[in-house]
Amino acid sequence: MAYDKIYEIQAGQSYPLGANYDDKGVNFALFSACAERVELCLFDPSGKSEIARLELPEYTDEVWHGYVPDLKPGALYGYRVYGPYDPENGHRFNPHKLLIDPYARALTGELIWNPAHFGYELGHDELDLSFDTRDSAPYTPKCRVVDPRVFDGQDPHRPAVPWSSTILYETHVKGFTQLNPAIPPELRGTFEGMGHKATVDYIKSLGITSVELLPVHAFPDDQHLLDRGLKNFWGYNTLNFFAPASRYGGPNGIKGFRDMVRAFHDAGIEVILDVVYNHTAEGNELGPTLSFKGIDNFSYYRTIAGQHRYYVNDTGTGNTVNTSHPRVLQMVMDSLRYWAESMHIDGFRFDLGTILGREPEGFDQRGGFFDAMMQDPLLSRLKLIGEPWDIGPGGYQVGGFPPGWGEWNDKYRDTVREYWRGDNVSSDFAARLLGSGDLYDQRGRRPWASINFITAHDGFTLNDLVSFNEKHNEANGEDNNDGHNDNRSSNYGVEGPTDDEQINALREQQKRNFLTTLLFSHGTPMLLAGDEFGRSQLGNNNGYCQDSEISWVHWENLPESAEALRKFTRHLIELRTSQPLLRRESWRDGMEIQWFNAGGGPQLPEHWDEGTTLGLYLTRPDLHDQPGIWQEVLLLINPYEGSVPFRIPECGQDGWVLELSTAGDEQMGQAVLPDTDFPLPGRSIVLLRRP
């Protein structure tokens, strides 16, 4: 192999890990406890030709390292790692495979699927016990050395929104921007498009405090999806935990990501990343060798005791990252700190978060990962949100995360859907409305720990929740067998879009009911992008592979009902933001809570069993005499089809004013007297306040 230039390599340092430029050259450091030799491969600017292969000369504390003088930012590289190929003992070293540095800050090129990516011979009788000698370099993204000066400078406008004031907005970089005519065409689908003034101003206009982005870490498109003409749209298949996904890169590269964050911060909006540290894109024992598997498989992944050829699969994706290993845990922590410190991210939502709390003996909220997070002076102060389930034993941990964490509360989602469908779940609904104290009023956790949501990226949109009885995932190419079957949805008489005005009116009213419930519930509300104006995915409840108009947010040619719903949503958010009674901060705030039945009397145990309409009275003495602040509210809730005469209870001295009704605004501002029958429309919520 002939090279145009002779590169020198020196001993360098074992810390920090990754490729680090110091104005004179680049230090390379790679953890591998079980490797026997590591080669650094340098490539030309195209990434197609290997121009140098340098053996890392030193090995310190299980870290291979070397320093290349005069090497500059922009240099492309990868690793070849030598060691035993012994899958039955958990080792899968194969130097014919070019490997991505786990600490690479940027990747160049996309992964091109080829049999050379596999450490074994595809189709061999011995499966992964065979050995493949093809070179994977032509098909593998190259790591790029990044100039640290890209990350210079602080962000003076980090919003630091209190949890109790937080309103989350879950969205997708490309999905949100691809069809927005207000964004220049060349920026659509990119970080720059997400940070464009049109995007930021719109989200700001809703009253949102915190944007939660679906995964932006580098990820490939799965071969089986490409074979069907599809893509990995959601991105839950991480290839590298430091590099932003190049598919969202715009003209300014990494700086474009920073600029996006800065634009949101300047508008007072936080940026939260959905992160996937529970598994990687390398799959099970028959998956490709792209990075971790070839660097130190036995350290990076959990393998089955006594059968180390096979992986623990608590994620359902083939492998599970071994956060019990100190170096693997270090990588996760280093990644989080990098995004927080260098990229100025405000928080993280952890996909299948239960995985991260798994130790060999099972889930432990005092496990190494949780302990590391909560003692970290930076990360512990950010917004930390767990998806509190996985498919492993004891994997359902809603309410089981440590203090300091918020959790996606699927009990909230399911109960609210059931209630408005007409199921008899009144007592459970009451608990969810008041912050799920049965789950979170312990160990000093606050109501905000409950991340309340009715819809998310995974499942029906709000529009589809009230338009379809069944999922319609045919476009995914899996014969409609993928996605959830238990959606707790209703089409109200017709499956999908209809011209029936009565059905459409009912659907719009149900959307208002769901949104009102969400934004008037104690806890932290999360709104799915587009639900504020009734975005549809045509009944597809599993758009993970739909990089298409099915998943993209449509901004043009919307029906009149869309703008009406958006206006209604803005009003709800304004009310929640301005009124402390609607966004409880503490279980110990002195709030008085009373439940009433439709007869105006207290809600007794037997009434809960009947599933009756509900009246909820809230007051806080400390709010008295504060201008513009309500000290008392009365919510009337009727999930059933018919109107109910609701006797207004005689609590307090004065009468009430009708502030909001999901059945329409004809009577807004009208006086409502105690001890009178209020005609509570079917399937509606009414909010009353003191005059």
Read off the tokens for 147.
Answer: 């100039």
Check residue 81 and give its pLDDT.
98
Residue 71 falls within a domain, yes or no? yes
pLDDT in tens, 597-635: 999 999 999 899 887 899 999 999 999 888 999 999 999
Q: How far is CA 200 from CA 164, 186, 259, 271, in A?
A: 22, 17, 12, 11
Query: Angle CA(521)–CA(525)–CA(530) in degrees, nearest 5?
Result: 125
Check residue 591 and give its pLDDT.
96
* Average pLDDT of span 7-29: 97
* Average pLDDT of span 391-404: 95
Q: Check: CB of residue 213 under 8 Å from CB of residue 531.
A: no
Q: How far is CA 603 from CA 427, 520, 562, 613, 635, in A?
A: 10, 20, 37, 10, 14
Residue with tokens 């409305």: 433
Check residue 157 and give its pLDDT.
83
Q: Which domain holds residue 99?
A: 18-150
Whole-number Å distance between alpha carbons of 506 and 283: 45
Picking from 150, 176, 195, the residue at the C-terminal end of a domain is 150
Residue 478 falls within a domain, yes or no? yes
**Cβ-Cβ contacts under 8 Å for 423 (sequence gap 6 or more):** none
- pLDDT exceeds 60 at position 590: yes
On whether both 488 and 630 belong to a single domain, the answer is: no
pLDDT in tens, 67-112: 999 999 999 999 999 999 999 999 999 999 999 999 999 999 999 9
Share of the chain above pLDDT 90, in %: 93
CATH number for the domain that contains residue 47: 2.60.40.10
pLDDT in tens, 113-142: 999 999 999 999 999 999 999 999 999 999
Residue 521 falls within a domain, yes or no? no
Query: Angle CA(419)–CA(422)–CA(426) in degrees, nearest 5?
Result: 45
Check residue 4 and give its pLDDT.
56
On whether both 80 and 228 belong to a single domain, the answer is: no
Query: Which pTM does this prediction carry?
Result: 0.97
* Average pLDDT of span 231-245: 98
- Phi, psi (5° rounding) for residue 505? -65, -40
Residue 577 falls within a domain, yes or no? no
Check residue 651 and give its pLDDT.
79
Whole-number Å distance between alpha carbons of 655 and 676: 10
- pLDDT exceeds 80 at position 1: no
* Average pLDDT of span 648-664: 90
- pLDDT exceeds 60 at position 3: no
pLDDT in tens, 178-188: 999 999 999 99
Task: Give the chain's mean pLDDT.
Answer: 96
On whether both 499 and 614 belong to a single domain, the answer is: no
Instruction: Please give the span between the terminal C-alpha atoms of the chain, in angstroms, as a whole number.
Output: 85
On whether both 655 and 602 belong to a single domain, the answer is: yes
| Tally of domains in the chain | 3
The catalytic residues are 351, 387
- Cα maximum dimension of the chain: 94
Read off the tokens for 406.
Answer: 């918020």
* Average pLDDT of span 228-239: 97
On whether both 212 and 145 belong to a single domain, the answer is: no
Strand arrangement, sheet containing 18-21:
18-21, 25-31, 63-69, 58-60
pLDDT in tens, 493-528: 999 999 999 999 999 999 999 999 999 999 999 999
- pLDDT exceeds 50 at position 2: no
CATH number for the domain that contains residue 548: 3.20.20.80
Place 380 in a pLDDT band, splitting at 50, 70 and 90.
very high
Per this entry, what is the length of the chain?
691
Share of the chain above pLDDT 70, in %: 99
